[in-house]
Amino acid sequence: MVTKDEMMKIAILSKLFVAEEDMDKLTKDMSEIISFADTINNASDEGTDFDNINNLSNVLREDCVVPSLDREQILANAKDSDDGCFLVKNIMK
Amino acid sequence: MSESKIARLHAMLQNKEISCTELTQAYLDAIEKDNAALNAYVTATPETALNTAKAVDEKIAKGESLHLLEGIPMTLKDNISTNGIRTTCCSKILEDYVPIYDASVWKILKSRNAVLLGKTNMDEFAMGSSCETSYFGGAKNPHSISHVAGGSSGGVASAVGGNLAVYGLGSDTGGSIRQPASFCGIVGLKPTYGAVSRFGLIAYASSFDQIGPITATVEDTAIVFDAVSEYDTMDSTSQGRKGEPVCNTLKNDIKGMKIGIAKEYFDGVREDVKQAVEQAIRVYQSLGAEIVYFDLPALKYALPVYYILACAEASSNLGRYDGIRYGYKADSYSDVNDMIKKTRSNGFGEEVKRRILLGTYVLSSGYYDAYYKKAQNLRGTIVKAFKNAFESCDVILAPTVPMTAFENGHAVSDPVETYLTDICTVPVNICGLPAVSVPCGCDAKGLPIGMQLIGNNFSESKILNAAWQYENAANLFKPTDFGVKL
């Protein structure tokens, strides 16, 4: 069972606003999803440790210099930029 | 004999029965006419398509020979990055995003003069099973437009099934290639994790995501898979195809091939779908395959394991959308934190927010061990169960989806009920295995039924061989009324 308070906390961690009028439905949906997820607790604990899908291991190669992306092009997708940088509001006074 | 649409069009181009410009124009005209009904494309790229077609025609005029995929009109799901062409993931948050580099798969196909007709519709960030979470509205099923094309690669399936593209590339995280291919009566391959580069695929759940082809026939799938399954230094999980091209062994005899059936795959499956798959088992017996029955009890945990892990990965992957570097940005806000929250809250749709919240929940302190860690351990158990299964059989045969296409609007009402429809497709993604969906009949309403052939890691040649033999023997492809008739 997921509570409204927990939902508020999770929304903050997710950097999302949840409107007051949507809270009841969302809490109900999440409770249903979580109780569905709870079925895994019936499984025995002798689970095999899982590292990655194909048991991949690191492959090392020589580092080499290749052309990078163009700054102007990168900034073209930003809504606000200035002097070759992404622009955001002050985070410190 | 089952024939390849790509090979047929290739021969027509090479023999000058049709020019590449004429072929391309026919598809562009069909999109103009039929996309209003199917909503398969969210961005059409006629200029790119006709420029490529012109280059191909020049090669033909000079008497040069063409690669099989050269000049063939195709499409890409709108989460595969295309340099200079809008790539939205069908989300408001990326509505005006224009990538500045190509996904590796598109780089490969572009170098072969593939004719890109446009980018196709999908569930927002590939999260959904009906294509209806798309910011642009869902793609419709070419067999009945009152039904969904499926999801999340619904647009590619609708376009290929509706003859608005010869083939397309989609992505499959929990069934997003196979399920819409099944709903639209065509073929879809989810390759082995690592067989096809994912560089430039906008991430949903990185340990599950895989790019693969959606085509009209099994041979077309083999042709496209052979072309795109290259090792790529830009994707750290890339391994490329192992062994010779799958086209070389596609039509081999399957006498003595061991086809495994796990009864758990048939639990809760609708009766007509079950019967269609059982009929396919008889076809395989008549082709000399040996049917092996076994149990796969670990399957019952596959769905919750998938949703816990995929959403956990999504909550982390989608953390990058903050309005600062690309995409939608909230208009008014008090500070940076407020800006990020407003951007994400207005920019993401309901299902995406639900999955981010679920993922954050299972990763949060106090719940991490009970959900994330437990699911990760069970993932290991499921991987082991499949590994054991492949000791007694070559391929596993199962339904692709427990039912046929939903009516429009049906899937969005109850999240858990909709998640349950992914029961047959998610196990493959959990284990990184390859699987191909092929049509195996129709229901009473004429909607296609699909079945999937699942193989061990890097055994695409085996599952496609088995799929081709079935397609050739059963011949169940059902044409639709839309698009180019060629």
pLDDT interval class at B155 (50, 70, 90): very high
What are the pLDDT digits (tens) for B202-258?
A: 999 999 999 999 999 999 999 999 999 999 999 989 999 999 999 999 999 999 999
Report B:143-162 residues touching A (Cβ under 8 A): none
Q: How many Cβ atoms from other residues are within 10 Å of residue B431's Cβ?
A: 24
The domain ranges of chain A are: 4-40
The Cα B218–Cα B3 span in angstroms is 9
The 3-state secondary structure of B401-461, one letter per residue: CCCCCCECCCCCCCHHHHHHCCCCCHHHHHHCCCEEEEEEEECCCCCEEEEEEEECCCCHH
Q: What average pLDDT does range B143-154 have in this prediction?
A: 97
Do A14 and B357 lie within an 8 Å CB cutoff? Answer: yes
Q: What is the pLDDT of residue A50?
A: 66
Who among B194, B304, B356 is closest to A14 (CB)?
A: B356
Q: What is the pLDDT of residue B414?
A: 74
Helices (H), B112-231: 154-161, 178-183, 218-228
Report B:367-426 residues touching A (Cβ under 8 A): 370-371, 374-381, 383-384, 415-416, 419
Q: What average pLDDT does range B121-130 have in this prediction?
A: 97
> Active-site positions of B?
77, 152, 176
pLDDT interval class at A48 (50, 70, 90): low
Report A:27-66 residues touching B (Cβ under 8 A): 29-30, 32-34, 36-41, 43, 45-50, 52-54, 56, 61
Do A43 and B381 lie within an 8 Å CB cutoff? Answer: yes
The Cα A69–Cα B42 span in angstroms is 27
pLDDT interval class at A52 (50, 70, 90): low
The Cα B452–Cα A15 span in angstroms is 39
The Cα B139–Cα B120 span in angstroms is 9
What are the pLDDT digits (tens) for B312-332?
A: 999 999 999 999 999 999 999
Q: How many Cβ atoms from other residues are within 10 Å of residue B301's Cβ?
A: 23
Selection from B280, B297, B262 nearest residue B451 by Cα: B280
B434 within some domain: yes
Do B300 and A39 lie within an 8 Å CB cutoff? Answer: yes
pLDDT interval class at B272 (50, 70, 90): very high
Report B:242-271 residues touching A (Cβ under 8 A): none
Is the pLDDT assigned to residue B437 strictly greater than 60? Answer: yes
The pTM score is: 0.96
Percentage above 90 pLDDT, chain B = 94
pLDDT interval class at A51 (50, 70, 90): low
Q: What is the pLDDT of residue B475?
A: 85
Q: What average pLDDT does range B343-357 have in this prediction?
A: 96
Selection from B143, B167, B451, B163 nearest residue B153 by Cα: B167
Q: How many domains does chain B have?
A: 1
Percentage above 90 pLDDT, chain A = 41
Interchain contact A69–B (C-beta under 8 A): yes
Q: Most A CBs within 10 Å: which of B92, B93, B127, B357, as the mutation test of the A interface?
A: B357
Q: What is the pLDDT of residue A42?
A: 82
**Which of B71 and A93 is assigned the larger pLDDT?**
B71
Do B97 and A77 lie within an 8 Å CB cutoff? Answer: yes
Is the pLDDT assigned to residue A46 strictly greater than 70? Answer: no
Average pLDDT over chain B reads 96
Q: What is the pLDDT of residue B419?
A: 84
The Cα B199–Cα B195 span in angstroms is 12
What are the pLDDT digits (tens) for B370-404?
A: 999 999 999 999 999 999 999 999 999 999 999 99
| Chain center to CA of A31 | 20
Do B239 and A54 lie within an 8 Å CB cutoff? Answer: yes
Q: What is the pLDDT of residue A41?
A: 85
The dihedrals phi and psi of B46, each to the nearest 5 degrees, come to: -60, -35
Report A:3-32 residues touching B (Cβ under 8 A): 6-7, 9-11, 13-18, 26, 29-30, 32
What are the pLDDT digits (tens) for A58-68?
A: 777 788 998 88
Q: Chain A residue closest to B298 (CA)?
A: A43
Q: What average pLDDT does range A51-58 have in this prediction?
A: 64
What distance, in Å, lies between the first and last C-alpha atoms of chain B? 18
Helices (H), B207-335: 218-228, 271-286, 302-317
pLDDT interval class at B6 (50, 70, 90): very high
Who among B194, B325, B345 is closest to A77 (CB)?
A: B325
Percentage above 70 pLDDT, chain B = 100
CATH label of the domain that carries residue B453: 3.90.1300.10
Do B340 and A15 lie within an 8 Å CB cutoff? Answer: yes
B411 within some domain: yes
Q: What average pLDDT does range B102-109 have in this prediction?
A: 98
The Cα B101–Cα B117 span in angstroms is 18
Q: Which domain holds residue B291?
A: 5-296+381-474
Q: B144: helix, coil or strand?
A: strand
Is the pLDDT assigned to residue B174 strictly greater than 70? Answer: yes
Assigned token pair, B166: 């010869």
* Residue type present at position A52: N
- CB-based contacts of B385, cutoff 8 Å, min separation 6: B296, B297, B298, B299
Do A36 and B358 lie within an 8 Å CB cutoff? Answer: no
B307 within some domain: no
Is the pLDDT assigned to residue B134 strictly greater than 70? Answer: yes
Torsion angle of the four alpha carbons B351, B372, B210, B30, in this order, in degrees rounded to the nearest 10: -10
